[in-house]
Amino acid sequence: MDRRFVDRVAVVTGVATTTGRRVTRALAEAGARVAALDSDAGHLATVIPVLRQHDLHVTGFPVDVTSSSSVDEVVADVERWIGPVEFLVNAVEPLRSGSVLTPDDKDLRPDPPGVGTVSRSIARRMAARGHGAIVTLTSTSAIGSHPHRVDLDLSQNGIRCHVLPVDQDEHGTSSPLWTSQTPGGAELPRDVTDAVLLLLGERSAHDDEDAPSDP
């Protein structure tokens, strides 16, 4: 268990990917209550019971990621049944043009399905509460092919956003493409799940202000 995540709600998209499954498990093992989103309901029905065998708090939510209304309904269900979302991990490539808070679906295309709709729905809720953290996984090829990407700088809304470039070997194992540092100055781990948890867990000013004081 990790006190940065215990009983806090995280959403992971792209759970059908190897990295998505690993991140989901890592967050749950750290104590988070994880909502696992994927458009493949059959895959979720296979993966979620395996994770629950280890007494992990993971709930699968099939969702039509191409439909904003469907995504909004699922995100509302996540917050109704599990709690306010504090962390989001997109285990797919990041958005292209415009702002993640844009009201127009056309500004979220062409993009990998679900990144825009899910990020927008959750970012709006985070912004209303004034805090949250988002990590989006991508590749250097994606960065090079999409020079005009969505504005993931939501710091003015109290949301910490990170785009983490990763590489994937022939076994489907992902790792950060270069050794770097987090905004807080910590060394970024080579294991992608460790890197994601480190980026999500870095404390913001809001976290520090709201943290309970020691008696």
Nearest C-alpha neighbor of 11 from the set 64, 80, 60, 52: 60
Confidence of residue 34 (pLDDT cuts 50, 70, 90): very high
- Give me the pLDDT at residue 150, please: 43
Does residue 3 fall inside a structural domain? no
Does residue 139 fall inside a structural domain? yes
Percent of the chain with pLDDT strictly greater than 70? 65
Question: Contact at 8 Å (CB) between 127 and 157?
Answer: yes
Q: In what side-by-side order are the strands of the sheet with 58-62?
A: 58-62, 33-38, 9-13, 85-90, 132-138, 159-168, 174-176
Length of the chain: 215
Does residue 4 fall inside a structural domain? no
Q: Taking the complete model, does pTM exceed 0.85, yes or no?
A: no
Does residue 2 fall inside a structural domain? no
* Count of alpha carbons within 13 angstroms of residue 214, beta-carbon side: 0
* 3-state secondary structure at position 136: strand
Confidence of residue 188 (pLDDT cuts 50, 70, 90): low
Which pLDDT tens digit goes with each residue over 110-147? 345 556 788 889 999 999 999 999 988 876 544 444 43
Domain CATH for 15: 3.40.50.720
Which pLDDT tens digit goes with each residue over 140-170? 544 444 433 444 567 788 888 888 777 654 3
